[in-house]
Structure 1
């Protein structure tokens, strides 16, 4: 008869293997969807990239929509971890934000472009906006006014100054170097510091 320790080890190893498979599928799907339209990528494409069967993907995620949600959640968690910054340190805030955008900005824009026809892309975009706003409240906690219209106005300005579309404008549309684009964002964030109004 199998001992308790041996059974616990076997169950733990099985759980670890299942989690590794799940992570591999999410990574494969995220990689494909970062370069191609959502509906161009089939479960078969993802299965081949992950080295699993389509049925395995269905067993883990229930289908493409469930996998899309899992990918969005994984990217959100990764972004949250990558954006740890000291409050009020504008150069560091900009450097960390650019590191994130340089890594996945194009993929983010590709997902945003599909919001109107892909429900999972719309959900991911709404969630990402909520997370970005919460990040702004932490990163600029030293300068944001207390609750009220002035705080909302300041948050809107900071959101516009740090949005992925502004990164796209500078880096992709205008062809600025990363150094030039980071300088532009630093200058913009310095210019909209609401504390300046009280010292004017």
Structure 2
């Protein structure tokens, strides 16, 4: 029983990795279960048996990606440089795929669910890593969180790195400067 359970998990992981790899390069609607099966070296029926279909597979893959992102985002509280470094490591690795994925929110319910979870996860992370600088509960805290969220969003990374073509060092410097400038402890109106 243990060996069979391990084999099932290996198959599930291989299918999720194949789907994620395809979805980082192509639109969700353009990737068929057959494409995923071919990439994973399994049958379409295997995917259906494990995930119920494409949407169930998307939900499972998003859950795994969220857990991996949570593990990768380790930064000391209040260390702006470390926070920016952690974000850029993630964004350089999967920022383009994230932008492609989120561009489909309005068309694909599984993506909308994954994006909503990712937004909550990012906000929770911001509350942890900037706990030393955020005001107490209330409107000022919400305002500060919104500013920090905007300053660390993947779309700002995309603007700097892809649209404007900034070198990574320059983009990281810009994000550090932005985060430093919105520190509520500096006396700005909140």
Matching residue of 1:125: 115
- The runs of 5 or more residues in structure 1 that have no matched partner are 1-10
Q: Secondary structure at the match of 1:70?
A: helix
* Stretches (4+) displaced over 6 A: none
Does 2:172 match 1:163?
A: no
> Could you say what the CA RMSD is over the residues aligned between the two structures, in angstroms?
0.8
Q: 47, 60, 73: which one pairs with 2:63? A: 73
The structure 1 residue matched to 2:9, chosen from 9, 13, 19, is 19
Larger Rg: 1
Aligned length: 188
Matched, 1:38 2:28: yes
How does 1:169-188 map onto structure 2 within 5 Å?
Answer: 169-188=159-178
Q: Secondary structure at the match of 2:187?
A: helix
For residues 72 and 25 of structure 2, the distance between their equivalents in structure 1, rounded to whole angstroms, comes to 21
Which position in structure 1 is the counterpart of 2:72? Answer: 82
TM, length-normalised to structure 2: 0.98
Q: Paired residue for 1:51?
A: 41
Any gaps of 5 or more consecutive residues in structure 2? none
Partner of 2:131: 141
TM-score (norm 1): 0.93
Q: How does 1:72-111 map to 2 (within 5 A)?
A: 72-111=62-101
1-structure distance, mates of 2:4, 2:61: 22
Q: Find the aligned partners of 1:116 and 1:20 in 2 and give their Cα distance.
A: 32
